[in-house]
């Protein structure tokens, strides 16, 4: 290998493909897939080629900032920044209570170490409420997992590589990935006459184009479509009785509900042909194995939590669980959710799922005179003004807080409302990793080494949190002295002393990440202290999944498997297979009391029953359904800010069907105005027969500020959440309906000439 090639990973989606890059000075000049990476195996998509737009550009922050009264920012040094941030947050804690300091974020698609270290800052402050973007997509699904499998963290994953039938519901993996080597696997399924690809999506997506069956559902019609499929399974007696008798409980209320589904009527309401729905249900029931993937198309649309339940019932009733090619519960290196014991949010009493407050409730928890309202917010590696529903309201919420601290690489739309902005080193300037380790049967963890020195005056998050914890007064030198002494004697002594400390000092438990960083970190080799937290994670993993870790080659007695796993993580630059599962392991991970899948969820059976009487809400002022945030080849959330990274798609066009374009009197590239009850935006149209009539779609991750050559800042494209409303959400999980925004579309030129 040419010595110039260095190993890292792509950070633009959750798959984090292993890559090799050539660098020239501080620039990433060439990028190719890393064949030695255990899950991506050399695969990448075209987006990886744009990583230099993240690493270098006019968006990068190079000094801590403090906001002046007039809204401009003043550069300050790190010591001042840490001192003032700590003082400000301590004052809020001492006046109002640490629980009034809300923490949002913790990582994006490629970086989760920051969030893990932030737990120490939160613990030092007594900050207990938290959330992140998962609470505007996955919390409904997690809640359903909790009902079915006993714990919300019993997360399932599809084995698409081996599945005879692959089903994607509101998911376009050709563009958005979501499982390793997505395009290769999709093409394999599509090319094999013995295998079947099924897509449920209102658009003829790139994935739908490959599919054997495309159920081109009406936007928001999924609850009827999925319940019709379940109705066919029960009414045609296609369910796996043997599997259900052995492994499921409480099926009767569900079967009774499904026996009563008026299939023809529900297909008509969903906008899908009844014969096609029956054929799809029969194909699923007849398959040796089925894997399914539900994503934003149903999770961010009406009935989102019910949709998750119905989607899961399709594979459960056909016995596609805990076996090859089907759905299984995977291992993990660490949790992606929040901590804390609170079950509801402090002001509005919204349900907290996996420790996360629903994103759409956040402004309601601030814009109130309720005594429990949040007073401060720490925002890390996320851009809520841009990514949460109703940007206007989110800005107002930030402006109502006493202290907002943003940790980011860029002066984001959110950072502009911060009192302090702390500049992070980029993900190619520090040790990083993600906890998106969601694969089965082989699960992979990848610790990346930095490619470059940090940009001057930026810091990695572990160092930021370590300094904050000290400045807050969370850890005293005497707390750490025994661990420093033990670390000098070697890992075994350190392990014993650490376990003793955890047992004896529950007050320090919340700060273990920074404790490890400070005491174990310096022994790991130059610059590697950020990996210290993974020592704890590796041991926890080896204790939680002993057989699976052993099968992956990490054997021995007592602490040995965890220790070996940690060494492998620390020393492998292409990622490590940390667990190898057997399909039966899924049963061990089930957390229900009787060891069976619980099929009846009363809250959602009640919602299912209500479908019969529900008519799609139509407001004549807003005749279109707008999907605000479609994943396209050019988008990567808000990680790439430079509009040049988007190539030809720079404008962020509104996709619209030929029939709708004709009736609006617009031609390709014409300007239109999109209006919702919350806002309006102008953009150009792209006319495409991939869209059905009545449905229009805007890309995600656009509408970002970027300075031009002359230094003048401009906004590029439409920011989707200027158009969304925070009350437009699921009743149970609070998940937003970004894919289903009632909208009006008008030709701009026509309006002017009228």
Ligand X SMILES: Nc1nc2c(c(=O)[nH]1)N[C@H]1C(S)=C(S)[C@@H](COP(=O)(O)OP(=O)(O)OC[C@H]3O[C@@H](n4cnc5c(=O)[nH]c(N)nc54)[C@H](O)[C@@H]3O)O[C@H]1N2
15 binds, among ligand SF4, ligand X, none (CB under 5 to 8 A by kind): ligand SF4
Nearer to ligand SF4 by Cβ, of 177 and 728: the residue is 177
Match 């737990």 to its residue by tokens: 119
DSSP 716: E
364 binds, among ligand SF4, ligand X, none (CB under 5 to 8 A by kind): none
CB of 104 to ligand X, least distance (A): 9
CB of 554 to ligand X, least distance (A): 29
Distance of CA 548 to the CA centre of its chain: 26
Q: Is 220 in the site for ligand X (CB under 6 A)?
A: yes
- Please, what's the b/e burial string for 235-249 (b: 16 or more CB within 10 A of its CB; e: otherwise)? eeebbbeebbeebbe
Please give the Cα distance from 599 to 602 (Å, whole number). Answer: 10
Please give the Cα distance from 555 to 563 (Å, whole number). Answer: 10
Q: Which of 8, 39, 131, 136 binds ligand X (CB under 6 A)?
A: 136
Q: Which of 99, 159, 222, 463 binds ligand X (CB under 6 A)?
A: 222
Site for ligand SF4 in 175-204 (CB under 6 A): 177
Q: Is 337 in the site for ligand X (CB under 6 A)?
A: no
Nearer to ligand SF4 by Cβ, of 20 and 164: the residue is 20
730 binds, among ligand SF4, ligand X, none (CB under 5 to 8 A by kind): none
Nearer to ligand SF4 by Cβ, of 44 and 307: the residue is 44
Q: Around Cβ 557, how many Cβ atoms within 10 Å?
A: 6
Binding to ligand SF4 by CB under 6 A, coded x per residue (else -) over 5-24, reads -----x-xx-xxx-------
701 binds, among ligand SF4, ligand X, none (CB under 5 to 8 A by kind): ligand X
Binding to ligand X by CB under 6 A, coded x per residue (else -) over 408-427, reads xxx-x-----------x-xx
Round the CA-based radius of gyration of the chain to a whole number and report it. 25
How many alpha carbons lie under 13 Å from residue 598 in its C-beta half-sphere? 19
Please give the Cα distance from 651 to 643 (Å, whole number). Answer: 9
Q: Is residue 154 within 8 Å of 591, Cβ to Cβ?
A: yes
3-state class (DSSP) for residue 294: strand
Q: Is 37 in the site for ligand SF4 (CB under 6 A)?
A: no
CB of 552 to ligand SF4, least distance (A): 22
Dihedral angle at the C-alpha atoms of 735, 737, 739, 743, nearest 10 degrees?
Answer: -160
How many alpha carbons lie under 13 Å from residue 218 in its C-beta half-sphere? 16
Q: Which is it for strands 442-445 and 420-423: parallel, antiparallel or unpaired?
A: unpaired
Site for ligand SF4 in 525-554 (CB under 6 A): none
Please give the Cα distance from 392 to 84 (Å, whole number). Answer: 28
497 binds, among ligand X, ligand SF4, none (CB under 5 to 8 A by kind): none
CB of 484 to ligand X, least distance (A): 28
DSSP 678: S
Nearer to ligand SF4 by Cβ, of 35 and 370: the residue is 35
Contact stretch for ligand X (CB under 6 A) within 150-158, 216-224, 270-278, 391-399: 216-224
Please give the Cα distance from 88 to 405 (Å, whole number). Answer: 10
409 binds, among ligand X, ligand SF4, none (CB under 5 to 8 A by kind): ligand X
Q: Which of 21, 28, 45, 626 binds ligand SF4 (CB under 6 A)?
A: 45
Q: Order of strands across the sheet with 18-24?
A: 5-9, 18-24, 27-33
Q: Is 438 in the site for ligand SF4 (CB under 6 A)?
A: no
Q: Which two tokens stand for residue 695?
A: 């449905």
Binding to ligand SF4 by CB under 6 A, coded x per residue (else -) over 715-744, reads ------------------------------
Contact stretch for ligand SF4 (CB under 6 A) within 40-48, 194-202, 390-398, 610-618: 40-48
Nearer to ligand SF4 by Cβ, of 16 and 466: the residue is 16
How many alpha carbons lie under 13 Å from residue 533 in its C-beta half-sphere? 29
- Please, what's the b/e burial string for 498-532 (b: 16 or more CB within 10 A of its CB; e: otherwise)? beebeeeeeebebbbbbbbbbbbbeebeeebbbbb
Q: What are phi and psi of 355, to 5 degrees?
A: 80, 5
Q: Is 56 in the site for ligand SF4 (CB under 6 A)?
A: no
Q: How many residues does the chain have?
A: 754
**Cα angle: 301, vertex 715, 203; to 5 degrees:** 30
How many residues belong to the site for ligand X (CB under 6 A)? Answer: 62
Nearer to ligand X by Cβ, of 207 and 577: the residue is 207
Q: Is residue 311 within 8 Å of 225, Cβ to Cβ?
A: no
Q: Is 524 in the site for ligand SF4 (CB under 6 A)?
A: no
Binding to ligand X by CB under 6 A, coded x per residue (else -) over 177-196, reads x-------------------
Report in angstroms the alpha-carbon separations of 520 from 471, 507, 527.
Answer: 20, 19, 12
- Please, what's the b/e burial string for 127-156 (b: 16 or more CB within 10 A of its CB; e: otherwise)? bbbbbbbbbbbbbbbbbbbbbbbbbbbbbb
Nearer to ligand X by Cβ, of 398 and 636: the residue is 636
CB of 381 to ligand X, least distance (A): 3
Nearer to ligand X by Cβ, of 375 and 635: the residue is 635
Site for ligand X in 364-403 (CB under 6 A): 380-383, 386-387
Nearer to ligand X by Cβ, of 274 and 649: the residue is 649
CB of 246 to ligand X, least distance (A): 32
CB of 299 to ligand X, least distance (A): 8
Q: Is 676 in the site for ligand X (CB under 6 A)?
A: no
Report in angstroms the alpha-carbon separations of 147 from 144, 182, 238, 302, 616.
Answer: 5, 29, 24, 20, 28
Please, which residues bridge with residue 647 across strands? none
Binding to ligand X by CB under 6 A, coded x per residue (else -) over 247-286, reads ----------------------------------------
CB of 174 to ligand SF4, least distance (A): 10
Please give the Cα distance from 541 to 226 (Å, whole number). Answer: 36
What does 573-617 look like in DSSP terms, one character per residue?
Answer: SS-EEEEE--TTHHHHH--STTSSEE---HHHHHHHHHGGG----
Q: Is 407 in the site for ligand X (CB under 6 A)?
A: yes
Given the rule CB under 6 A, which residues bind ligand X? 13, 108-109, 111, 114, 133, 136-137, 169-172, 175-177, 200-203, 205, 217, 219-220, 222, 295-298, 301, 380-383, 386-387, 407-410, 412, 424, 426-427, 461, 627-631, 635-639, 700-701, 720-721, 724, 738-740
Given the rule CB under 6 A, which residues bind ligand SF4? 10, 12-13, 15-17, 44-45, 47-48, 177
């Amino acid at each position: 290998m040419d010595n110039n090639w260095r190993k890292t990973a792509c950070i633009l989606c959750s798959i984090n493909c292993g890559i090799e890059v050539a660098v020239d000075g501080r620039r990433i000049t060439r990028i190719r897939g890393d064949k030695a990476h255990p899950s991506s195996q050399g695969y990448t998509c075209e987006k990886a080629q744009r990583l230099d737009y993240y690493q270098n550009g006019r968006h990068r922050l190079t000094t801590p900032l403090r906001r002046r009264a007039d809204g401009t920012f003043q550069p300050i040094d790190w010591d001042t920044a840490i001192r003032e941030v700590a003082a400000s947050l301590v004052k809020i804690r001492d006046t109002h209570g640490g629980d009034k300091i809300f923490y949002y974020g913790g990582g994006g698609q490629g970086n989760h170490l920051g969030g893990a270290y932030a737990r120490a800052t939160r613990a030092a402050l007594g900050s207990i409420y938290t959330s992140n973007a998962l609470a505007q997509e996955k919390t409904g699904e997690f809640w359903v997992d909790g009902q079915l499998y006993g714990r919300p963290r019993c997360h399932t994953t599809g084995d698409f590589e081996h599945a005879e039938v692959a089903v994607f519901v509101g998911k376009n993996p050709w563009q958005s990935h979501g499982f390793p080597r997505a395009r290769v696997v999709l093409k394999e399924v599509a090319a094999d006459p013995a295998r079947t690809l099924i897509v449920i999506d209102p658009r003829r997506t790139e994935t739908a184009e490959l599919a054997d069956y495309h159920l081109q559902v009406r936007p928001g019609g999924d609850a009827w479509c999925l319940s019709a499929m379940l109705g066919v399974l029960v009414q045609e007696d296609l369910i796996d009785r043997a599997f259900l008798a052995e492994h499921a409980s409480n099926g009767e209320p569900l079967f009774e509900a499904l026996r009563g589904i008026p299939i023809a009527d529900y297909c008509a309401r969903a906008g899908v042909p009844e014969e096609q729905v029956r054929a799809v249900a029969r194909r699923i029931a007849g398959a040796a194995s089925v894997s399914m993937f539900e994503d934003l198309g149903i999770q961010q649309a009406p009935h989102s939590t019910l949709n998750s339940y119905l989607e899961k019932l399709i594979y459960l009733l056909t016995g596609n669980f805990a076996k090859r090619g089907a759905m299984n519960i995977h291992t993990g290196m660490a949790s992606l959710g929040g901590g804390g014991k609170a079950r509801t949010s402090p002001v509005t009493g919204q349900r907290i799922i996996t420790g996360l407050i629903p994103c759409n409730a956040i402004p309601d928890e601030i814009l109130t005179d309720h005594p429990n309202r949040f007073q401060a917010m720490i925002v890390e590696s996320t851009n809520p003004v841009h990514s949460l529903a109703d940007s206007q309201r989110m800005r107002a919420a930030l402006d109502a807080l006493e202290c907002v601290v943003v940790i980011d690489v860029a002066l984001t739309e959110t950072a502009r409302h911060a009192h302090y902005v702390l500049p992070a080193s980029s993900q190619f300037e520090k040790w990083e990793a993600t906890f998106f380790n969601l694969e089965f049967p082989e699960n992979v963890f990848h610790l990346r080494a930095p490619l470059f020195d940090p940009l001057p005056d930026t810091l990695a998050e572990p160092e930021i949190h370590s300094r904050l914890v000290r400045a807050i007064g969370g850890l005293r030198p005497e707390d750490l002295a025994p661990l420093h002494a033990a670390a000098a004697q070697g890992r075994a002594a350190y392990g014993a002393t650490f376990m003793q400390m955890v047992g004896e000092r529950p007050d320090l438990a919340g700060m273990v990440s920074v404790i490890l960083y400070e005491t174990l970190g310096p022994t790991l080799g130059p610059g590697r202290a950020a990996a210290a937290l993974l020592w704890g994670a590796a041991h926890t993993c080896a204790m939680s999944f002993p057989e699976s870790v052993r099968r992956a080659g990490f054997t021995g007695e007592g602490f040995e498997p965890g220790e070996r796993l940690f060494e492998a993580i620390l020393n492998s630059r292409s990622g490590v297979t940390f667990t190898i599962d057997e399909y039966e392991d899924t049963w061990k991970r089930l957390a229900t009391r009787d060891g069976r899948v619980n099929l009846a969820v009363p809250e959602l059976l009640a919602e299912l029953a209500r479908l019969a009487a529900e008519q799609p809400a139509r407001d004549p002022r807003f005749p279109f359904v707008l999907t605000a945030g479609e994943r396209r080849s050019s988008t990567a959330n808000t990680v790439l800010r430079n509009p040049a990274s988007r190539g030809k798609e720079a404008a962020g066009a509104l996709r619209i069907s030929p029939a709708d374009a004709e009736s609006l009197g617009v031609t390709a590239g014409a300007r239109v105005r999109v209006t919702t009850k919350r806002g309006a935006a102008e953009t150009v149209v792209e006319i495409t027969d991939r869209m059905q009539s009545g449905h229009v779609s805007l890309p995600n991750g656009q509408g970002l500020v970027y300075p031009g050559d002359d230094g003048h800042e401009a906004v590029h494209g439409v920011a989707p959440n200027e158009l969304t409303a925070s009350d437009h959400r699921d009743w149970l999980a609070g998940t937003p309906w970004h894919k289903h925004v009632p909208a009006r579309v008008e030709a701009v030129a026509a309006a002017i000439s009228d």
